[in-house]
Structure 1
Amino acid sequence: MTTTTPTTPTTPTPHTAYVHGYSPQEARRLGDQADTLAALLHAGTAYPPGSRVLEVGCGVGAQTVHLARSSPGARIVAVDRSEESLTQARAYVTEQAPAADVTWHPADLFQLPFTDAEFDHIFTCFVLEHLRDPGRALAELRRVLRPGGTLTVIEGDHGSVVFHPDSHHAHEVIGHQIHLQSAAGGNALLGRELEPLLTDAGFTDVAVRPRTVYADRTRPALVDGFTRKTFIAMIESVRDDAMAAGLTTAADWNRGIADLRRAADDGGTFHYTFFKATAVSPQP
């Protein structure tokens, strides 16, 4: 046994481990998700030419492409704390949207390297759910947003899942992903909390609207792009972690995933709700 010298406790980092990992499969899943849901999630979001737009937590650039396409002429600054993700994002956006005006910065969301009121608009998608302290992050975003500038936040909520054929075993494997994200300090149910989070952070004119995905065999693109390649793929990615944590057995996991996949078969249906919020930085 190795003996270690006790250390003085420190304040826990506000960041969490990204529960889905950084594999090539995850990068593809993020791309499938962004492409499948672009019309649903980006509808109504467009920034004027010349406006300064900050995208926080750009990851591999999956959302950046659609942000740039919706706002030609906007000056986008995309930040992420992962240098590897930024490298992928730069290459992806250069390929998919070569005319986009995007600059890239490695940055800590909780200590952004920008001056007060530097941006006209801020966009963040699927980021707050992975933070221990989303309220603190929102306070930092408010700092760099000019008075009267807008913030757009999009988050999911795994508690909104409804599918047919229903299955207790399928709900259990979804619950394991929710548990693992919570254990890492995140919150897979954050979508329902956006209004109080934004209001408590001092934003005004907060408006939250559900964006619902419903897929059945009459919508094959959504069945493939969302039910299979986005949601089920996300749940499948945490199998090893769920097993290592003792949350499930191989037999129970396989049964739950098999039941969940039935929602993507003929006769199956799948429903999920995202929440899109807009808010304004208050005037002094």
Structure 2
Amino acid sequence: MTQAYVHGYDPKEQTRLQDQAMTLVDLLHSDTAYPPGSQILEAGCGVGAQTVTLARNSPRASIVAMDISETSLAEARHRVMLEGLTNVRFQRGDILDLPFDPGSFDHVFVCFVLEHLKEPGLALQNLKACLRPGGTITVIEGDHGSAFFHPDSDAARAAIRSLVELQARTGGNALIGRSLYPLLRRAGYRQISVSPRTVYADAGKPEMVDGFTKRTFTAMIEGARQSAIREGIVEPAVFDRGVRDLYRTAERDGTFCYTFFKAVGTA
């Protein structure tokens, strides 16, 4: 997996990932738990934003958290250590060149990874090979085309599209959530189920407005400003107005809606 992570590795992005994980923990992970003694691979663990929840939800399972970035792995190790979790070990590895024997794991967990890959189907095939027969894969991805908000704004939509285009130019797909079923099916998985996980934020849900509308989604779009403008994807004035309009949806009369997709398949 040689392409760059489109959001970068600076401390602001690490904070955004943690904010996202904490805000969405129940929505995305409340139904993810593995039996005692299970061997779990978290492929693309990043800074450990999801790893902590996985380890807490399955305290008697053994988790291998893998990532290609040593910088991210160092942050993930630190986070897990601070939480006092002992059922995780870390390994550097490439999802397209896995360092594991066939059938090494009972379950695989992949969250917000496929969107960054040029060959997500190949990654899913590789992960299937390291699952024992009957093992499962859980995949969670977003879909930036699912964002709806009030007040509506052409500039905000242009800013979102600029990140979608930027990610496409690096070989990724920010709309991949809608494609999980066919991707898993073509990779050879069986008994596939996909469930939409919709975030809705308004003034009656201030924690979601702050944690998701402001600090997760809009912060993500805002972080793409320099790259999107440098690539000539969007005019600076349009992008800046779009970001202001996204923050406007976090005011008392605003609303914001976004859908993640969670898929489970059997090897």
What's the TM-score bracket when you normalise by the shorter of the two chains? over 0.9
1:30 paired with 2:17, answer yes
SS in structure 2 of the partner of residue 210 of structure 1: strand
Equivalent residue pairs, number: 267
Provide the alpha-carbon RMSD of the alignment: 0.8
1:195 paired with 2:189, answer no
Give ranges in structure 2 of 5+ residues lacking alignment.
Answer: none
**CA shift digits 1:100-157 (9 cap, x unpaired):** 3111000011111111001000001000000000010001000000000010000000
Does the CA-based 8 Å contact 1:15-1:132 persist in structure 2? no
Does the CA-based 8 Å contact 2:166-2:233 persist in structure 1? no
1:249 to 211, 232, 235: 235
Does the CA-based 8 Å contact 1:73-1:100 persist in structure 2? no
Q: Distance in 1 between matches of 2:199 and 2:238?
A: 27
**CA shift digits 1:12-53 (9 cap, x unpaired):** xx5421110000000000000001000000021100111100
1:77 paired with 2:78, answer no
Q: Distance in 2 between matches of 1:244 and 1:106?
A: 32
Q: Distance in 2 between matches of 1:250 and 1:45?
A: 41
Q: Show the counterpart of 2:88.
A: 102
Q: Distance in 1 between matches of 2:236 and 2:130?
A: 47
Q: Distance in 2 between matches of 1:221 and 1:31?
A: 15
TM-aligned CA deviation for residue 87 of structure 1: 0.5
CA gap 1:99/1:253 in 2 versus in 1, 3 angstroms: closer
Superposed, which structure 2 residues align to 1:97-176 within 5 Å? 98-176=84-162
TM-aligned CA deviation for residue 251 of structure 1: 1.7
Q: Show the counterpart of 1:3.
A: none
Give ranges in structure 1 of 5+ residues lacking alignment.
Answer: 1-13
Q: Show the counterpart of 2:33.
A: 46
Q: Show the counterpart of 1:87.
A: 74
TM-aligned CA deviation for residue 93 of structure 1: 1.1
Letter in 2 for 1:28: T
Q: Show the counterpart of 2:44.
A: 57
**CA shift digits 1:56-88 (9 cap, x unpaired):** 000000000011111111100000000111001
Q: Distance in 1 between matches of 2:31 and 2:71?
A: 31
SS in structure 2 of the partner of residue 206 of structure 1: strand
TM-aligned CA deviation for residue 249 of structure 1: 2.5
What is the identity percentage for the equivalent residue pairs of Structure 1 and Structure 2?
A: 56
Q: Distance in 2 between matches of 1:124 and 1:221?
A: 26
Q: Distance in 2 between matches of 1:123 and 1:248?
A: 35
Q: Distance in 2 between matches of 1:76 and 1:146?
A: 15
CA radius of gyration, larger in: 1
SS in structure 2 of the partner of residue 209 of structure 1: strand
Q: Distance in 1 between matches of 2:225 and 2:200?
A: 25
Q: Distance in 1 between matches of 2:40 and 2:143?
A: 26
1:279 paired with 2:265, answer yes
Q: Show the counterpart of 1:10.
A: none
The TM-score normalised by the length of structure 1 is 0.93
Q: Distance in 2 between matches of 1:94 and 1:197?
A: 35
SS in structure 2 of the partner of residue 264 of structure 1: coil
